[in-house]
Amino acid sequence: MKLRSTSLALLSPLLIGLGTPVHGAESYPKPAPYQDTAEKKAERMQWFNEARFGMFIHWGLYSQLAGEWQDKHVTGGAEWIQKYLEIPSSQYSPLAKTFTARKFDADAWVKAIANAGIKYICITTKHHDGFCMWPTKLNDDWNISVTPFKRDPLKELAEACKRHNVTFCIYHSILDWHHADWPGRPGFNDYAKGAPDKEKFRNYLYGQLDELFTQYGKIGMIWLDGSWDRQHWTSDDGKQLEDFIRSRQASVVINNRSGYLPPQPKLDIKIENTYSYVFAGDYISPEGEVPSTGLPGIAWETCQTMQLPNNWGYNRIVGFRLFSDLLHQLVDVTSKGGNMLLNIGPTGEGAITPQALGCLEKFGTWMKVNGEAIHGTTASPFAFLPFDGRCTRKGNLIYLHVFKWPDSGRILVPAENRVKRAWLLEEPESVLTSTATSRGIEIRIPKDAPDPLVSVIAVEIEGETKPLKAPENVSKGIRPEVSSFWPGREALLDAKHITDGDPNSMWAAEEQARSGTVTIDLGAEKEIAEVLLNDAPYSRTREFDLEAKTAAGWKKIADGTQIGAGLRVPGNSIRASAVRLNLRKTSDTPTLSEFQIFAGAEN
């Protein structure tokens, strides 16, 4: 729905008030510190750890703009449009009088989500623009009751979740661009007068959370956001907020964005967004990224949105991520012990877009067959896999998620265990022959993949999983041969950085180059188990292939369009004396952070 300023100007701000919150609300004293225990946390996290797959829903007044205002467009972050285009509150607030949501159907939403194999939803109760998607009593002009829609979508969604056995969760922004007493209020809030009063804002925030936790039944999780302004929202503020929430529903799962900043552990992985990795609450929330390795003992949830490039609210002018990419990411996240919270942005009218519905239907088809390999599983027990795919585990059941079906007719599991049974989840009655070898369990598979995107093989083993020794990095310290280098910046961007094991150092080609090659000569033929590539943080690769030098010459073993922070390419045990990365096309000067080659220890 395209709304131009000319139509909005016809709606006088006086019709909807001046954005003034009701300040006569209860004053909340500092909450008592919550006495948490490992047992309490394990109990409240049980459903979360079993679910593995959730749905984020960003829906609000911004959904009506769909990324456009006065013929200006935002391609990313449509839910941030007021901030990005500095829309005055007096011009933004009339959107409340045009919000009809005439196509909203809570039951249809939740049914489509449940049919996709998704176990929980997380709906935006209030985003950064401060508009409340429920009839709060804490303001009289900036909530769903002043819209033509008038109904309470949170109530309808909570009830639909009960009918469809989906856990109801909420998102709530701490910061509030519309509230006069938010201490970091923006300049475009032209309603606000005088100095902000933080305690009044805190009472407003607590009062709204009080409503949410007392009016909508049991809340599975609260996804807090907007605490990055540490000048105005401190660690103490965040700790008090967590304690207050626990005083309302102690069993609720809280993400890591309350603002609380206890002592932080050091992680030996590349992190793009440090705000996502603050350790507070019950789990960390990487946004749009997946930790390159598993995080044993740490609960985490990657949130990812369907709309490109990074739209959480609906944007009518951008495309959608491919289902295949989202499915692979779900499997990748689960294989590392995390949850995936996949986002949709319904339209201003309250409709889930056809593209999103199509994606949900495809997930439903895949999950109907393979959902047991996602729900209730734990991380892969293996440090590497000799095939293109991932692994999840449930007790003595190992699930092999195969991305690229091998032409060899065999799948190798790097474990010493004996196999009780192996079968295709697509064909529950099938029996796959397995053989114990010195390189692991060899399973014979059909010629054709059961699923074109991800086929799952279930393997029931005897006893605890006994992984074979992981292959060693045989490329570390070897100086690669590169097609070019950046003159004058050799020390900072030298080719030796590619194999130094440090993802924070890198090589760069000649500045004007838009392609390049990197070759690692191993000095002798080795059986390649896996190759690890990393071109983050710039991720400029647009087309590449990987070749191995065998006795018969160079042989392509992989190709693709992007590398990212940790692309693992199976070597499929090919014997090679060198490996070459051909960066066929890059968006700017080619860079590479890591190029690691792993081979069996016996080599």
CA distances from 476 to 528, 547, 573 (A): 14, 19, 19
Burial 385-419 (b: 16+ CB within 10 A, else e): bbbbbbbbbeeebbbbbbbebbeeeebbbbbbbeb
pLDDT of residue 470: 83
Q: Give the model confidence (pLDDT) of 31-42 as tens digits.
A: 999 999 999 999
pLDDT of residue 267: 86
> For the chain, what is the radius of gyration of the CA atoms?
26
Q: What are the backbone dihedrals phi and psi of residue 268, each rounded to the nearest 5 degrees, phi first?
A: -90, 50
Q: In the chain, where are the structural domains located?
A: 41-60+99-371, 389-461, 472-599
Predicted confidence band of residue 25 (pLDDT cuts 50, 70, 90): low
**Are 16 and 146 in contact, with CB atoms under 8 Å apart?**
yes
Task: Please give, one letter per residue, the 3-state secondary structure of 51-62.
Answer: HCEEEEECCCCH
Q: How many CB atoms lie within 10 A of CB 464?
A: 9
Of 269 and 210, the one with more pLDDT = 210
Look up residue 394 and give its two tokens.
């449930």
pLDDT tens-digit series, residues 416-444: 999 999 999 999 999 999 998 888 999 99
CB-based contact 82:8 (threshold 8 Å): no
Give yes or no for a cis peptide into 537 (omega within 30° of 0): yes
DSSP state of 228: -
Q: Which residue has the higher pLDDT, 527 or 220?
A: 220
**At 405, is the secondary structure helix, strand, or coil?**
coil
Q: At residue 465, does pLDDT exceed 50?
A: yes
pLDDT of residue 601: 55
Summary mean pLDDT of the chain? 92
Mean of pLDDT values over 180-187 = 96
The pLDDT value recorded for residue 18 is 43
How far is residue 49's CA from residue 107's CA, in Å, rounded to a whole number? 25
Instruction: Give the model's pLDDT for residue 7.
Output: 32
CA 227 to chain centre: 19
pTM of the model: 0.85
Residue 575 has φ and ψ, to the nearest 5°, of -90, 125
Asked whether the predicted pLDDT for residue 515 surpasses 70, the reply is yes
Give pLDDT, residue 3. 30
What is the pLDDT, as a whole number, of residue 144? Answer: 98
pLDDT tens column, 373-398: 999 999 999 988 888 899 999 999 99
Q: How many residues make up the chain in this entry?
A: 603
47 alpha-carbon distance from chain centroid: 19
- Residue 365 exposed, middle or buried by CB count within 10 Å (0-12, 13-18, 19+): middle
Q: Of the CATH numbers 3.20.20.450, 3.20.20.80, 3.40.50.10490, 3.40.50.2300, which one belongs to the domain with range 41-60+99-371?
A: 3.20.20.80
Q: Cα–Cα distance between 351 and 59 in angstroms, integer? A: 10
- Residue 13 confidence class, pLDDT cut points 50, 70, 90: very low
Q: What is the pLDDT of residues 224-247, one digit of tens each?
A: 999 999 999 999 999 999 999 999
Class of 389-461 in CATH: mainly beta
Question: Of 346-350, 421-425, 559-563, which range is least confident?
Answer: 559-563
pLDDT in tens, 314-336: 999 999 999 999 999 999 999 99
Report the pLDDT value the prediction gives residue 23, as an integer from 0 to 100: 47
Cite the DSSP H helix spans in 272-371: 323-335, 354-370
Q: Would you state the torsion angle of the CA atoms of residues 584, 585, 586, 591, taken in this order, to the nearest 10 degrees?
A: 10
Q: Which CATH superfamily is domain 472-599 in?
A: Galactose-binding domain-like (2.60.120.260)
Residue 109 has pLDDT above 90, yes or no: yes
Name the band, by pLDDT with cuts 50, 70 and 90, for residue 22: low
| 15 pLDDT higher than 60 | no
| Over residues 464-490, mean pLDDT | 90
Q: For the chain, how many helices (H) and strands (E)?
A: 12, 25
**Which pLDDT score is estimated for 570?**
82
How far apart are the C-alpha atoms of 363 and 205, rounded to whole Å? 37
Calculate mean pLDDT across residues 94-100: 97
Q: Which tens digit of pLDDT belongs to each residue from 491-514?
A: 789 999 999 988 889 999 999 999
Q: In 346-469, which residue ranges form alpha helices assigned H by DSSP?
A: 354-370
The rounded percent of the chain whose pLDDT value lies above 70 is 95
Residue 24 above 80 pLDDT? no
With cut-offs at 50, 70 and 90, classify the pLDDT of residue 565. confident
